[in-house]
Chain A
Amino acid sequence: MIRVFLSIIFKDMKVLAHSGTKIFMPIIYLLLILVFFSISISNTTVGGYERILPQIIWLACLLVSLLNMETLFKEDYEDGTLEGIVINSHVLEISVLAKVLSYWIFTIIPLIIIGFFVNYLLTSNFSASLVLLMSLLLGSLTIALIGSIAASLTLSIKGNNLLLSTIVLPMDIPVLIFGTSSVYNAVSGVSYNSELLFLLLLLILFLIVSPFATALGLRSSLD
């Protein structure tokens, strides 16, 4: 079981390593969003930029990770790999979890690391940057798990990216609220533990629910 799990992650890593743009484009896109945000609010928030930067980073990471969500199963679906995974998986839910984890590790974690460094370099607030890192780690995996359900359901629909975002974004609101609240609290110097705990709770909930729902979605998309 663990070997199957690792083989899926290893294969995705190899495919990504041979097509480098898939890792670097989201990072460049994230940096561009941050630059555009900074330019657009530079006149309106004199002195307040440092307070809202972590929240902007949080939102930017959410949006960029959503943009890529479509690719989670799409390529496997188009080249026939997904049929092999569905037929030959003893437990399809484990294979689904491996796909989501590999997406999170290779696509979202680089964004989180960049977000952490950008925030630390621009605000020099290490503790708030650390909270940003922790809340993004917890929140982004939950977002990926929520996104995997929608990605599996919209798999057979062409041009599904907008539909996928429309389905996923409302479901991401609780994660966004607790994620941005935790970093705002950290910047304001008040406790952020309860927000992080809520993020952890949401993560555990979707770790349990999402693989089953996604496996069902994949089967119905291949049907």
Chain B
Amino acid sequence: MKNSFINLEDINLTKQDKRIFTNFSLSIPFGEKINIFGKNGAGKTSLLKIISGITSPSSGKVLIDINMTINHDIFYIGHKYGLKNELSVSDNLRCILKFNQKAEAINHILEELNYYDMQDKLHNKVKYLSHGQKKIISLVQLPLLRNKIWLLDEPFTGLDQNIVDKLINKIDKHTSCGGTVIITSHNEKKQFTNIEL
């Protein structure tokens, strides 16, 4: 427990009279890749939202035991991608980087888009991109923002195998540098430490 990065202690969560977690505890160490899997409605998204701080559990504690604030070192990608349809890919990423005080990473936007073969979409408005392309744009933010903890809600859904492989490479690189990645999915993943809900 002492060397853990994220500790969930006795988490209880009730939503609309339905018990989602009862005394749920979880300990995630440094540099770990975690896949939280389970059937629909098991509470996978709720768990990510509790760790991110968006949702407060009914009772229990979420501890991040490192000298950092939970605010600044967590990046969460849910089912919505946080992109403005009216703005171009470039403007969206620039605005997000400025909001997160990572303006120096603006110079690497093209490089990261290039990694996913999306460099030609730099000046396209987000509303003209497909669902999968929007998801890739949201994933491009991960290495640019360089947060310690990545919380990715079903990151592989809707992506082709080539992109999935590239994303797994990014995740491996991040965890090898001490970062922690928690994803959710509907089944076990061989590259990840699997936790069933």
Asked whether A87 and B76 contact (CB < 8 A) given A3-B101, A79-B81, the answer is yes
Asked whether A14 and B87 contact (CB < 8 A) given A88-B72, A88-B99, A90-B72, the answer is yes
Q: Is the CB of A87 within 8 A of B86?
A: no
The interface bits of chain B over 50-93 (1 if a CB of A lies within 8 angstroms of the residue's CB, else 0) are 00111110000000000001011011101111111111000100
A1-49 contacts to B (CB < 8 Å): 3-4, 7-8, 10-11, 14-15, 18-19
Cβ of A86 < 8 Å from any Cβ of B? yes
CB distance from B139 to the nearest CB of A (A): 14
Closest to A80 in B: B80
Cβ of A84 < 8 Å from any Cβ of B? yes
CB distance from A54 to the nearest CB of B (A): 36
Closest to A4 in B: B99
Asked whether A87 and B55 contact (CB < 8 A) given A10-B98, A15-B87, A18-B87, the answer is no
Q: Is the CB of A90 within 8 A of B95?
A: no
CB distance from B17 to the nearest CB of A (A): 15
Cβ of B100 < 8 Å from any Cβ of A? yes
User: How many A residues, CB 8 Å from partner?
Assistant: 25
Count how many pairs of residues, one from A and one from B, have CB atoms less than 8 Å apart in the complex. Answer: 79
Q: How far is the CA of A80 from the CA of B54 in the complex (A)?
A: 12
Q: How far is the CA of A18 from the CA of B82 in the complex (A)?
A: 17
Q: Is the CB of A80 within 8 A of B71?
A: no
Q: Is the CB of B101 within 8 A of A79?
A: no
Q: Is the CB of A87 within 8 A of B56?
A: no
Cβ of B105 < 8 Å from any Cβ of A? no
A71-105 contacts to B (CB < 8 Å): 78-81, 83-90
Our pick among A19, A78, A89 for the contact of B86 (Cβ within 8 Å) is A19
Q: How far is the CA of A81 from the CA of B74 in the complex (A)?
A: 15
Q: Is the CB of B71 within 8 A of A88?
A: yes
Cβ of B96 < 8 Å from any Cβ of A? yes
Q: Is the CB of B101 within 8 A of A4?
A: yes
Q: How far is the CA of A80 from the CA of B141 in the complex (A)?
A: 14
Closest to B53 in A: A87
In the complex, which of the residues A4, A18, A19, A219 has the most CB atoms of chain B within 10 Å of its own CB atom?
Answer: A18
Asked whether A79 and B83 contact (CB < 8 A) given A4-B99, A86-B54, A87-B52, the answer is yes
Q: How far is the CA of A84 from the CA of B80 in the complex (A)?
A: 10
Q: What are 28 sample pairs from A and B whose C-beta atoms fall under 8 A apart?
A: A3-B98, A3-B101, A10-B98, A11-B99, A14-B87, A14-B91, A15-B84, A18-B87, A18-B125, A79-B82, A80-B82, A81-B83, A83-B52, A83-B76, A83-B78, A83-B80, A83-B82, A86-B54, A87-B53, A87-B54, A87-B71, A87-B74, A88-B74, A88-B100, A89-B71, A219-B56, A222-B54, A223-B56
Which A positions have Cβ atoms within 8 angstroms of B?
A: 3-4, 7-8, 10-11, 14-15, 18-19, 78-81, 83-90, 219, 222-223
Those 3 A-B pairs whose CB atoms lie nearest each other, nearest first: A80-B80, A80-B82, A18-B86
